[in-house]
A and B are shown apart, each in its own frame.
Chain A
Amino acid sequence: MRVRPDVTVVVIAYNDAWRLPRAVASTLEQSLGGVETVIVDDASTDGTGEIADRLAAAHPGRVRAVHLPSNSGGCGRPRNTGIEASAGRYVMFLDSDDLLDRHACLNLFAAAEDAGADLASGLCDRIFLDVPPGAKGRVRPWYPWLYRRRAVYGPLEEHPDLLYDTLSTNKAYRRDFLDEHGLRFVERLHYEDLLFTAEAYLAARRTALIPHRVYNWLVRERTPAPSISNRRADLANFADRLEIHRRIDMLFALRGAHDLRRAKDVKFVNHDLALYLRELRDRDPGYRSRFLDLAAGYLAELDPRVFEEAHPLPAIAAYLIREGDHAAALAAAEHGGAVKRPELRAQLVERDGRVFWGTGRPRGTLGRRILDVTDFGFHLRPLKDLRPGNTVTLLEVRGGRVRMAGYVLNPLGRIRPDAELSATLEFGDRRHRARKGRVRAAVRHEGDRLAWRAEFDPRRRIRPVGFVDPVWDVRLRVRVDGEDVVTRLGEGPGSPPLGGVELPVRPRLTRLAADRLRSYVTGGGHLAFSLESGTPWARLAGSTARRAATSPAGRLAWGLVGRRARRTEKAVRRTLTSRTTKIAVFNRVLSRLPVRQGLAVFETHLGRRYSDNPKYIYRELRRSGRPVDAVWSYASSPKGFPGDARLVRRGSWAYFLALARARYWIDNQGYPDGLRKRPETTYIQTWHGSAFKLMGQDQPRVKSGSAAERARLRRSVERFDCFLVRSGHDVETLCAGLGVRSELLPAGYPRNDPLVNGVDGDPELAAEVDGLRRSLGLDAGDGRRAVLYAPTFATGPKGRPVRLLEPPIAPGVFARELGEEFVLLVRPHYLCRANLPPGAHAVMRDVGDVPDVTPLLLLADALITDHSSIMFDFALLDRPIVLHLPGGRDRTAGYFDLERHAPGPITRTEDELVAALAGLDDADAGHAPRRRAFAERFGEHDRGTAARTVADRYFPAARPRHKGERRRKGEYRRRGEQHGRTA
């Protein structure tokens, strides 16, 4: 009696004699014993059929071969034939150029049996054979998010996301299930998988998913004849795909499954269409327009809701194709690609306070909803992150000189007409960014774009080395009011053909290496150059060099010396500049150097800003003329830091050297972990706010963490020599939580001195506040009051901060209800960014970029916050505070019951907040006593003298310095005084 095999693997093959044995071997090697293999040969002409027969003969009972009488031209008929021929309880499909994982059958069979599922599906890995083994991007899993964990789903409605995985090959189907529902592949159409899987998902009572890889899809991109499903260049191919989609739509419509149909169409927009659109740039114009016509035809049939449910950029692309705006559609598709920081190649328009994609005015509510890209923050992003597209309109060589011209988009007029502009063209070796040729370009503001133009002699300006730098690309660096915007040159509307222009160059190595850079356009649509030679001698030299490099001896030499040298060079550079090295050198070498008396290193929030307590201590030291040699650390840009201090970049050698030799460290957060503070250095830790949220060792995350992590925290806190406290509350909570053992200086916070004293005695700060007021457009004539909205960050579902801060009241509502009376200053936590639409400008201002919060507090008439520590500071001003805690934000564990001790009213909804603001003055009489008690409790030591107290405690007073007086160095040491040079 013949026992039924557990699984039949149907291997289909067409003219693939060389790979078929490998595919069949992967089924014979299965860890599940009861596997039968059925090879279906689609009437091959290269001997595949004979190979199949030979395999069947070699493994009787385990392998069978079936031959189709004539070629079917697709995968449908061979697979159907295979199903008919199969004996197994489950059927799987394998293409002759792919491989099954060794445990695929066992895993799928067990999963299906355990769950009683009709269909079991596992992960498919695409393996890109053109990428060398071990390199990044060789193995790319197919929709891995579907396969994160094992799952059993009921009907498809429960989990329509399954529709994303439309492969038929990574699955096992119960044979009886296929028969019961008459499930077979359509023939004579490509993408038969899509329809087959949709029908199977729909029919399955139960579907099991496993995270195990079951199928290896071997992809060969650089090949003269890509496999059938990868031939996207063929227009008929796309027509087939649309036909399949229409049939799936019909299938769902017949079953009344409109939600599923929509889910499938959303997937079409997100995945299928986007895939084609991103390749469209490479196609010829005829193909492009016929393609877009086909697509527009199908998109017109879709439910408009599909556009709303799809991801924003693919939805914009699909919508604009339907509307006929092809350029903007392609720009959206490219912007939505997998590129990390995509270019912005479309114009944007601002209408009614929102930002829309494309130049045209969006039509209808649907258009307005789809094209709205306000949330992307193009109007707020720093210019250098905007990455506007750059289109070349002229590229020619005449008389040995190159003339180039083009334009950079200026979306939303972000670059103002009065901006100071300059530009440089940078030609660079793609492999070695350091090798560059720079050319000045003339640049002119033309409204919605910047036109540029350059003319130069490439032989003098661009000097390739030869042989080692075969590919060059070019960027335009535009300097706008001191800020650099780097754009890549590319083709676009108005471009002449950019390929094939030859720039004469003289390589440094030898003229035999090459004599010109020949332009071409990359797959991403950018202009690039390849180093080539025109003369026969040079060509001979080039081919000789290449042959030498690729000869066995050359390869050996390269492998032994060249590659290793390069790797070593990289490794050495990485090691030398790594933080670990710097910290080790700091601890072992730098901190043995003599301390420079009077040298103080200041840092605020890891160098992010010039602000907070260190700033006010610094100002006090300067004001009182104390002889301090000040160094400020900055994280990325020295902009905004004081000019009369030495500035060092955080993490640089100069930074570590300054820290090693400093007499004082003054900081509000923490210097790098692992730095051992020497005993001669005094670390004044000012901290950056009283605590409501649990701190340090009190945080659950730290408590449950490793002992090493806690020890690290302890070590870094043990470095403090002084810790500023504002009240007994700080001592009980903050100091206990962090485990501070240093001297606690009950001085209050230096940053709060102006809040207690006012700015009258401090003209510098008064000017700063006035300047801020002016720059925010809140002049005295305005008459509206400023309300500061400054919440802390909200934690997202993954425990990370939510990056976008929405205003607490919709701008429209705010304008209507409170716009006459208030202006809202939105201050996001420094980890976040405010999401204000341009239309909100009338009533709201983003003050996220203001480095120091103290002037903001001074000019704010009221504060809205949640459990941010800003409330403890603002309370000192005795101005109204509203605690806005939507969605149970107060349930965050804290050191005290916020509701009971709140310094003002608590609101939970937008309406409540509007009401609270509208009745601010009337209600204030009731809240003032509580607020004063709050201020008294948490600002116990804030008496307006904090900065002076710190200075007096640690810094000796300035002594008048007489000219000509020379002091011996030993004298300082004996007296223990710390005089440096005065600034």
Chain B
Amino acid sequence: MAAPRDVFIVCNNADDMGGLQRWAHHLARLLAGRGDRVTLVGITRGTRPYHHGRDGSYAVEVLHAEWRPPAMAWRPATLRQRLDVSARARDLWRRAAQRRGAARLSELFAAARPGSVVIAAQVWAMEWVRLADTSGLRVVGMSHESYAATRASSRYRRVREHYADVDRMLVLTAEDADAWARNGMTNVDYIPNALHVTPDVHPTLDLPVVACVGRLSYEKGVDLMLEAWERVSARHPGWRLHVYGSGPDGERLRAQAAEAGLLGGAGPTGSVEFRGVVADVEEALVEASVFALPSRAEGFPMSVLEAMAYGLPTVAFDCAPGVRALLGERTGALVEPGDTAAFARELERLIEDPDLRRALGAEARASVLRFHPDTVLERWDRLFDLLHRDLPSGDPAGEPVRDGREPVLEGDSF
């Protein structure tokens, strides 16, 4: 094992009830568990704080108790916008506040031992890290979504700008890393998220239940799930679909299910159950035999990771590199996005063949070991090691010289 280090994980906020915060606390626990001194920094406080299994093994800091300046930096595009005095004033206010936060961050960093690493988990948090004094540290920037999702949003420009000079930029899958590398981010690499559940019980895979866990929103595609389920339940009336989660589309989806005659009572006419938010995912997974992921867009779906850990075969739309990285040939089925008929066919194939379910489920449990905390930690260790590999003799390779991504040529004499 590598020597203990100081690790700073900087998030937009460290205490909201979100997937990213869950990941951050999990990683902090893992690193602290083997001796690293970990500080989890939230730029601001979350709106509804949640403990995330905080166990005191790592410190948690917040830079701004409240963030009232504009969330985004001011980027005037036209002359008229440039003349907007109030926007300019708000931006000055923002910058001043940001500098105060960054100074606080610098204090934290100053106490770090040599060989320390700063992980900016989100690009917004990276703005503070960039302003802070990181000399002697190595900075890692992370993007927790797929390349395509970033490309389609305003984050793309900010990632290009703020992560250009970090020592390493991390995404979740090799495919996303390659896409960023083609895009010119030569510092990109990938480390997947670690599995954060340890199943005590496993589903028997003979209950006639398909589970679908996710927010009830358009991109999670529960409407497609219901469409596919119409076909499935017609031929397999004994099987039930459990939909877990809540969200803005809840009413509409219930109406869709009711219209298709899938709601209410038992038997073929009521084969769909909306079960709301589940506190412990184990409850949902142990009584299912098949897991379905009908999403239109995903990053690195932790729900699939969990389902695999519980030994459930998965049917999913092939919607993102994260899904492809998780599901191989023999752990489930990947279906062309939007092809609900094929989705139904794959579900039926698993429904009709208990042996196939078992085979795929067992394969999933084995395959998920790729994301075992130890394996993922090893990757982190290797990264820290690569970033701090100095030649023992000669001048200390302290601060690496930061230049642009494109070689600077203007200053040349030729």
Which residues in A have some Cβ–Cβ distance to B below 8 Å? 2-3, 5-6, 18-19, 22, 25-26, 28-36, 59-62, 99, 101-104, 106-107, 109-110, 127, 129, 133, 139, 144, 147-150, 210-214, 216, 218, 699-707, 893
Q: Is the CB of B339 within 8 A of A213?
A: no
Q: Is the CB of A129 within 8 A of B409?
A: yes
Pick from A102, A133, A211: contact of B182, CB under 8 Å: A211
Q: B224 within 8 Å of A by Cβ?
A: yes
Q: Is the CB of A33 within 8 A of B189?
A: no
Q: Which A residues touch B395, using CB under 8 A? A: 59-62
Q: Is the CB of A212 within 8 A of B414?
A: no
Interface string of B179-206 (1 = CB under 8 A from A): 0011010111100000000000000000
Q: Which B residues touch A705, using CB under 8 A? A: 296, 338
CB distance from A55 to the nearest CB of B (A): 12
Pick from A36, A144, A149: contact of B178, CB under 8 Å: A149
Tally of contacts, chain A with chain B, CB under 8 A: 124
Pick from B168, B394, B400, B412: contact of A19, CB under 8 Å: B412
| Closest 3 pairs between A and B when the two form their complex, measured CB to CB | A61-B394, A704-B338, A700-B338
Q: With A6-B389, A700-B339, A704-B319 given, is the CB distance from A216 to B184 under 8 Å?
A: no
Pick from B168, B391, B403, B410: contact of A3, CB under 8 Å: B391
Pick from A104, A110, A700: contact of B337, CB under 8 Å: A700
Q: Is the CB of A22 within 8 A of B412?
A: yes
Q: Which B residues touch A60, using CB under 8 A? A: 393-395
Q: Which A residues touch B393, using CB under 8 A? A: 2, 60-61
The CA of A102 and the CA of B175, in the complex, are separated in Å by 22
The CA of A35 and the CA of B386, in the complex, are separated in Å by 12
Chain A: CB-nearest residue to B382: A110
Q: Which A residues touch B339, using CB under 8 A? A: 700, 703, 893
Residue among A5, A31, A61 with max Cβ neighbours from chain B (10 Å): A31
Q: Which B residues touch A62, using CB under 8 A? A: 391, 394-395
The CA of A707 and the CA of B296, in the complex, are separated in Å by 10
Q: Which B residues touch A35, using CB under 8 A? A: 391
CB distance from B172 to the nearest CB of A (A): 15
Q: Is the CB of A703 within 8 A of B224?
A: yes
CB distance from A725 to the nearest CB of B (A): 24
Q: Which A residues touch B406, using CB under 8 A? A: 127, 133, 139
Q: Which B residues touch A18, using CB under 8 A? A: 412-414
Q: List 29 A-B contacts (CB under 8 A).
A: A5-B391, A18-B412, A18-B414, A25-B401, A31-B167, A31-B168, A59-B395, A60-B393, A102-B186, A102-B187, A102-B400, A103-B186, A103-B187, A110-B386, A147-B182, A149-B175, A210-B181, A211-B182, A212-B186, A213-B184, A213-B186, A214-B186, A218-B409, A699-B338, A700-B337, A701-B337, A703-B339, A704-B221, A705-B296
The CA of A644 and the CA of B296, in the complex, are separated in Å by 50
Q: Which B residues touch A31, using CB under 8 A? A: 167-168, 187, 387, 400
Q: Which A residues touch B338, using CB under 8 A? A: 699-705
16 additional contacts, CB 8 Å, given A19-B412, A149-B178, A704-B221? A26-B407, A29-B401, A33-B391, A35-B391, A59-B394, A99-B407, A127-B406, A129-B409, A133-B410, A150-B174, A150-B177, A212-B186, A213-B181, A704-B296, A893-B339, A893-B341
The CA of A19 and the CA of B407, in the complex, are separated in Å by 13
Q: B390 within 8 Å of A by Cβ?
A: yes
CB distance from A146 to the nearest CB of B (A): 12
Q: Is the CB of A33 within 8 A of B403?
A: no
Q: Is the CB of A34 within 8 A of B391?
A: yes
Q: B392 within 8 Å of A by Cβ?
A: yes
Q: B388 within 8 Å of A by Cβ?
A: yes
The CA of A133 and the CA of B409, in the complex, are separated in Å by 10
The CA of A484 and the CA of B394, in the complex, are separated in Å by 72
CB distance from B220 to the nearest CB of A (A): 12
Q: Which A residues touch B188, using CB under 8 A? A: 212
Q: Which A residues touch B168, using CB under 8 A? A: 31
Chain B: CB-nearest residue to A30: B400
Residue among A2, A212, A213 with max Cβ neighbours from chain B (10 Å): A212
Q: Which A residues touch B296, using CB under 8 A? A: 704-706
Q: Which A residues touch B340, using CB under 8 A? A: 700, 703
Q: Is the CB of B388 within 8 A of A102?
A: no
Q: B278 within 8 Å of A by Cβ?
A: no
Q: Is the CB of A33 within 8 A of B390?
A: yes
CB distance from A135 to the nearest CB of B (A): 13
Q: Which A residues touch B412, using CB under 8 A? A: 18-19, 22
Pick from A33, A61, A218: contact of B389, CB under 8 Å: A33
Q: Is the CB of B336 within 8 A of A700?
A: yes
The CA of A578 and the CA of B405, in the complex, are separated in Å by 35
The CA of A2 and the CA of B296, in the complex, are separated in Å by 55
Q: Which A residues touch B218, using CB under 8 A? A: 707
Q: B92 within 8 Å of A by Cβ?
A: no
Q: B2 within 8 Å of A by Cβ?
A: no
Q: Which B residues touch A699, using CB under 8 A? A: 338
Q: B310 within 8 Å of A by Cβ?
A: no
Q: Which A residues touch B389, using CB under 8 A? A: 6, 32-34
Q: Which A residues touch B189, using CB under 8 A? A: 110
Q: Which A residues touch B341, using CB under 8 A? A: 893
The CA of A3 and the CA of B394, in the complex, are separated in Å by 12
Pick from B182, B397, B410: contact of A148, CB under 8 Å: B182
The CA of A31 and the CA of B388, in the complex, are separated in Å by 9
The CA of A82 and the CA of B231, in the complex, are separated in Å by 69
CB distance from A504 to the nearest CB of B (A): 41
Q: Is the CB of B178 within 8 A of A211?
A: yes
The CA of A706 and the CA of B217, in the complex, are separated in Å by 12
Q: Which B residues touch A706, using CB under 8 A? A: 296
Q: Which A residues touch B390, using CB under 8 A? A: 33-34
The CA of A19 and the CA of B400, in the complex, are separated in Å by 21
Q: Which B residues touch A30, using CB under 8 A? A: 400
Q: Is the CB of B403 within 8 A of A102?
A: yes
Q: Which A residues touch B336, using CB under 8 A? A: 700
Q: Which A residues touch B413, using CB under 8 A? A: 18
CB distance from A755 to the nearest CB of B (A): 33
Q: Which A residues touch B128, using CB under 8 A? A: none
The CA of A31 and the CA of B186, in the complex, are separated in Å by 11
Interface string of B152-177 (1 = CB under 8 A from A): 00000000000000011000001101
Q: Which B residues touch A148, using CB under 8 A? A: 178, 182
Q: B58 within 8 Å of A by Cβ?
A: no
Q: B317 within 8 Å of A by Cβ?
A: yes
Pick from B178, B187, B388: contact of A150, CB under 8 Å: B178
The CA of A61 and the CA of B393, in the complex, are separated in Å by 6
Residue among A5, A33, A99 with max Cβ neighbours from chain B (10 Å): A33
Q: Which A residues touch B319, using CB under 8 A? A: 704
The CA of A110 and the CA of B403, in the complex, are separated in Å by 22
The CA of A106 and the CA of B336, in the complex, are separated in Å by 37
Q: Which A residues touch B181, using CB under 8 A? A: 210-213
CB distance from A143 to the nearest CB of B (A): 13
Interface string of B326-363 (1 = CB under 8 A from A): 00000000001111110000000000000000000000
Q: Which A residues touch B167, using CB under 8 A? A: 31
The CA of A6 and the CA of B389, in the complex, are separated in Å by 9
The CA of A101 and the CA of B406, in the complex, are separated in Å by 8
Chain A: CB-nearest residue to B227: A703
Q: Is the CB of A704 within 8 A of B317?
A: yes
The CA of A700 and the CA of B341, in the complex, are separated in Å by 9
Chain A: CB-nearest residue to B138: A31
Chain B: CB-nearest residue to A139: B406
The CA of A707 and the CA of B217, in the complex, are separated in Å by 11
Within 8 A of A (CB), among B355-384: none
Q: Which B residues touch A214, using CB under 8 A? A: 186
Chain B: CB-nearest residue to A3: B392
Chain B: CB-nearest residue to A114: B382
Pick from A5, A33, A211: contact of B388, CB under 8 Å: A33
The CA of A148 and the CA of B224, in the complex, are separated in Å by 33
Chain B: CB-nearest residue to A7: B389
Chain B: CB-nearest residue to A62: B394
CB distance from B205 to the nearest CB of A (A): 29
Chain A: CB-nearest residue to B337: A704
Chain B: CB-nearest residue to A147: B182
